């Protein structure tokens, strides 16, 4: 080797040695990108004049009554049933294929109808059409099907894919005054769709990164449906044929979403070629698979504090919510302690946001930009260090307690919750409020649970006798599904001198109980539907006698009077019927009292024991009559002195001889 090339050779050898001694590394084949045209369904959604198309059958409405429809009446002119479209977000070629269109129909006010239907398909600047056959005759209800031959072509990012259904020459058999044919779509029961062969999503499996014994596998999904391609689908990865159960990290990227899966290397593994299989299921019957092999070299952790995504994580990847409300009312002030606990994507979003306080690169619609004014209160060492620090928690807590507007904004625009529905009043009416945040077992970026505690109070005088909300629908209506599982527990307790009054609830079960020293209203729903519209409220009477203590005392007083009257009115009569009546009504009053029914009903049952004692006592038999009946039923008898057997005396003749039926002894009766 010539001398002048020695330094270059030494440098190359040194570089190779350094690379071979690196504590960890990940390499693999070239980044894998898929996919070609796929067979799938596009479902019709939305109103007829401005409909949309979606590949996610989870978008269909569960209730059949929520279906969209168009009614076509007798006409020889053309009738537009609907137009549905979507702006496509991927590029690719599509082949010659037959697209099958299906839409449910119902014939109304006629035996049948002869119909001429046409479906027009637009893909960018290309147009295709097909019809439902030569004047098909439709009866009752069924499915109208139209086949369209679509030639090969190319779809570009931003092209419009649009369907237009028209009918004409409607001829009804034996039509009535309201004859027509109704087309339905948009629900699980009426899942109108078109089956296509088309590029749906581009999947890019990027290079893995390694941190100690943790490996991060980023996968980018690009389509015209942005992050919905992940949140509206089910999917995951398998590493070496073993499914990864840990929740991935989803972040928005230009034209799609990046989903990063975290895999912990087993102690028995030594790295090497690691096979990763990714699957995506946007709809039933459709599974898109892709595979990549990574070359993983395991080394020791270099001391990093964690791994954070570059962009703000999505909140729609799936989160569970646990809401607990503990309220106490003393007649003047309601004290509320609220616990909001959540995990999953919402936890990832919050942890990332706290570590990015003051980040000027946040998008304009990011809620965390609201905390930019607190950037100076966070030391430089705490910023973007991959963990949530005390200074960042204090900044958020100070922001939330600073004004009611800030608290409402965080709950509504951040967590998608209605704070008024949780606290029962407008936050402006709150008294001193303390908010604390518990990050759980780790401050690092993860999907572990985060808990927010709100300790507050507000004034409410029982004399106002106004309806008060314990809890009502608190999940904001949104096109995005932030909460996949919700558990609700709410409890309200009053003092022994106050009453909760009339309790009302819409679409929610509750328990209302009285226990002499306190009154309780409880709601326990372990699996709350996020879309359920409910409300639980109470209306104190403001009347002291209706309190749990005075109400119990008055009921006992009424029952005691009833028992006293029963005993007084039955001195020469049997007291059993009257006493049983009072005791039975007392037990009924106790049950009504404990079950929390209105106090006037409890008093009414108790007072009725007094009113019923008089007629029951008057019809009770006299004591003498009962004694005579008793004597008649038993009759005279003597005991045999030999065997102690009771021997009945059936004659009035004296003296009388009778034989003992047991020992056959003869007995003499003289009196």
What confidence tens digit (pLDDT) does each residue in 195-208 have?
Answer: 999 999 999 999 88
Task: Please answer whether residues 140 and 113 qualify as being in contact, where contact means their C-beta atoms are separated by less than 8 angstroms.
Answer: no
The whole-number pLDDT of residue 510 equals 95
Cα dihedral 107, 112, 113, 117, rounded to 10, equals 60
pLDDT at 626: 66
Q: How much is the average pLDDT of 548-556?
A: 92
228 by DSSP, 3-state: which? helix
* Cα–Cα distance for residue pair 58/79, rounded to 1 Å: 30
- Asked if pLDDT for residue 389 goes beyond 80, the answer is yes
Given a cut of 60, whether residue 18 has pLDDT beyond it is: no
Q: Which residues contact 607 (CB under 8 A, 6 or more apart)?
A: 558
Q: pLDDT tens across 608-617, in order? A: 988 888 888 8
**Mean pLDDT of the region 272-292:** 92
Contact 508, 525 (CB under 8 A): yes
Average pLDDT on 438-448 reads: 89
Distance CA 93, CA 87 (A): 16
Q: What are the backbone dihedrals phi and psi of residue 396, each rounded to the nearest 5 degrees, phi first?
A: -70, -45
Q: Where are the domains of the chain?
A: 22-34+201-297, 38-198, 320-342+360-542, 546-623, 635-669
pLDDT score for 24 = 42
- Measured between alpha carbons, how far is 548 from 62 in angstroms, rounded to an integer? 44
Strands (E), 46-111: 51-54, 68-72, 79-87, 92-94, 97-108
Whether residue 194 has pLDDT greater than 70: yes
For residue 308, the model assigns a pLDDT of 67
Sign of CA dihedral 52, 55, 59, 60: positive
pLDDT tens track for 103-141: 999 999 999 999 999 999 999 999 999 998 877 889 999
Three-state SS at 11 = helix
Q: Report DSSP letters for 131-168, one per residue.
A: ES-SS-EEESEEEEEEEEEE--EEE-TTPEEEEEEEEE
- The C-alpha atoms of residue 631 and residue 653 are separated, in whole angstroms, by 19
| Closest residue by Cα to residue 537 from 332, 334, 321 | 334
SS (H, E, C) 606-662: HHHHHHHHHHHHHHCCEHHHHHHHHHHHHCCEEECCCCCCEEECCCCCCCEEEECCC
Q: What is the mean pLDDT of residues 541-555?
A: 90
pLDDT band for position 302 (cuts 50, 70, 90) = very low
How far is the C-alpha of 299 from the C-alpha of 271, rounded, in Å? Answer: 10
Percent of the chain with pLDDT over 70: 92
What fold is seen in the domain 38-198? Answer: Jelly Rolls (2.60.120)
pTM: 0.78
Q: Greater confidence, 341 or 265? A: 341
| Mean pLDDT along residues 563-572 | 85
| Pick from 226, 195, 225, 218: nearest CA to 41 | 195
Q: What is the CATH number of domain 22-34+201-297?
A: 2.60.40.10
CA distance 499 to 330: 10
Whether pLDDT at 7 is above 70: no
* CA distances in angstroms from 447 to 215, 320, 372, 423, 651, listed in the order given: 16, 11, 24, 26, 97
Q: Which of 179-188, 227-236, 440-449, 621-630 has the lowest mean pLDDT?
A: 621-630
End-to-end C-alpha distance for the chain, whole angstroms: 151
What is the Cα–Cα distance from 144 to 153, expressed in whole angstroms? Answer: 27
Q: What letters, b where the CB count within 10 A reaches 16 and e where it falls short, cover 515-539?
A: eeeebbbbbebeebebeeebbbbbe
Indicate the average pLDDT of the chain: 87
Judge contact between 392 and 439, C-beta under 8 A: no
pLDDT at 32: 59
Q: What is the pLDDT of residue 634?
A: 59
Max Cα distance, the chain (Å):
157
How far apart CA 121 and CA 425 sit, in angstroms, is 52
Instruction: Assign 3-state DSSP to the chain and report helix, strand, coil percentages, each to 5.
Output: 25, 40, 35
More confident residue, 586 or 310: 586
Both structure tokens of 101? 């269109």
The answer to whether 556 touches 589, Cβ cutoff 8 Å, is no
| pLDDT, position 197 | 94
Q: What is the pLDDT of residue 338?
A: 97
Residues 358, 371: contact at Cβ < 8 Å?
A: yes
Q: Is the CB of residue 155 less than 8 Å from the CB of residue 123?
A: yes
**Could you tell me the CA-to-CA distances from 232 to 52, 158, 258, 652 in Å, in that order?**
15, 21, 14, 100
């Amino acid at each position: 080797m010539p001398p002048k090339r020695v330094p270059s050779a030494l440098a190359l050898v040194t570089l190779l040695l350094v690379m071979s001694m690196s504590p960890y590394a990940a390499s693999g084949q070239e980044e894998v990108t898929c996919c070609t045209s796929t067979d799938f369904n596009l479902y019709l959604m939305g109103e007829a004049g401005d409909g949309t198309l979606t590949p996610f059958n989870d978008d269909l409405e569960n209730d059949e009554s929520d279906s969209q429809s168009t009614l076509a009446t007798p006409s020889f002119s053309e009738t537009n049933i609907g137009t549905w479209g979507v702006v496509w977000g991927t590029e690719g070629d599509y082949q010659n294929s037959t697209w099958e269109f299906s839409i449910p129909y119902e014939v109304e006010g006629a035996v049948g109808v002869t119909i001429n239907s046409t479906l027009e398909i637009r893909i960018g600047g290309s147009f295709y059409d097909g019809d439902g056959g030569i004047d098909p005759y439709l009866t009752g209800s069924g499915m109208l099907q139209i086949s369209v031959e679509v030639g090969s072509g190319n779809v570009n990012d931003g092209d419009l894919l649009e369907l237009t259904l028209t009918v004409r020459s409607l001829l009804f058999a034996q039509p009535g005054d309201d004859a027509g044919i109704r087309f339905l779509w948009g629900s699980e029961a009426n899942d109108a769709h078109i089956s296509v062969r088309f590029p749906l999503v581009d999947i890019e499996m990027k290079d893995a990164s390694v941190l100690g014994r943790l490996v991060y596998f980023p996968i980018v999904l690009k389509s015209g449906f942005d992050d919905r391609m992940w949140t509206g689908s089910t999917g995951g990865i398998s590493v070496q044929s073993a499914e990864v159960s840990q929740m991935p990290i989803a972040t928005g990227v230009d034209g799609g979403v990046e989903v990063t899966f975290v895999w912990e290397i087993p102690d028995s593994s030594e790295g090497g070629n690691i096979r990763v299989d990714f699957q995506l299921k946007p709809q039933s019957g459709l599974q898109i698979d892709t595979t990549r092999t990574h070359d993983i070299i395991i080394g020791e952790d270099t001391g990093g504090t964690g791994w954070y995504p570059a962009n703000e994580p999505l909140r729609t990847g799936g989160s569970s919510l646990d809401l607990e409300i503990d309220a106490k009312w003393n007649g003047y002030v309601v004290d509320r302690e609220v616990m909001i606990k959540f995990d999953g994507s919402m936890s990832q979003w919050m942890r990332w946001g706290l570590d990015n306080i003051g980040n000027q690169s946040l998008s304009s619609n990011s809620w965390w930009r609201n905390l930019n004014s607190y950037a100076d209160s966070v030391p430089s060492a705490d910023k973007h260090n991959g963990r949530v620090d005390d200074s960042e928690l204090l900044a958020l807590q100070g922001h939330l307690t600073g004004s009611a507007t800030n608290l409402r904004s965080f709950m509504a625009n951040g967590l998608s919750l209605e704070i008024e529905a949780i606290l029962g009043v407008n936050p402006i009416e709150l008294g001193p409020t303390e908010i604390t945040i518990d990050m759980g077992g780790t401050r690092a970026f993860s999907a572990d649970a985060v808990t927010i505690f709100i300790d507050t109070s507000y004034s409410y005088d029982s004399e106002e006798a106004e309806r008060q909300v314990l809890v009502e629908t608190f999940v904001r209506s949104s096109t995005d599904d932030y909460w996949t599982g919700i558990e609700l527990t709410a409890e309200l307790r009053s003092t022994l001198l106050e009453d909760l009054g009339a309790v009302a609830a819409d679409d929610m079960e509750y328990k209302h109980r009285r226990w002499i020293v306190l009154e309780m209203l409880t709601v326990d729903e372990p699996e709350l539907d996020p879309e359920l519209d409910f409300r639980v409220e109470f209306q104190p009477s403001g009347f002291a006698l209706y309190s749990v203590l005075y109400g119990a005392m008055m009921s006992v007083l009424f029952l005691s009077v009833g028992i006293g009257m029963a005993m007084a009115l039955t001195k020469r009569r049997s007291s059993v019927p009257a006493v049983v009546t009072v005791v039975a009504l007392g037990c009924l009053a106790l049950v009504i009292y404990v079950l929390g029914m209105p106090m006037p009903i409890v008093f009414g049952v108790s007072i009725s024991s007094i009113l019923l004692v008089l007629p029951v006592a008057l019809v009770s038999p006299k004591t003498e009559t009962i004694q005579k009946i008793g004597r008649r039923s038993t009759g005279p008898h003597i005991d045999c002195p030999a065997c102690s057997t009771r021997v009945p005396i059936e004659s009035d003749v004296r003296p009388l001889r009778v034989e003992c039926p047991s020992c056959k002894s003869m007995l003499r009766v003289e009196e």
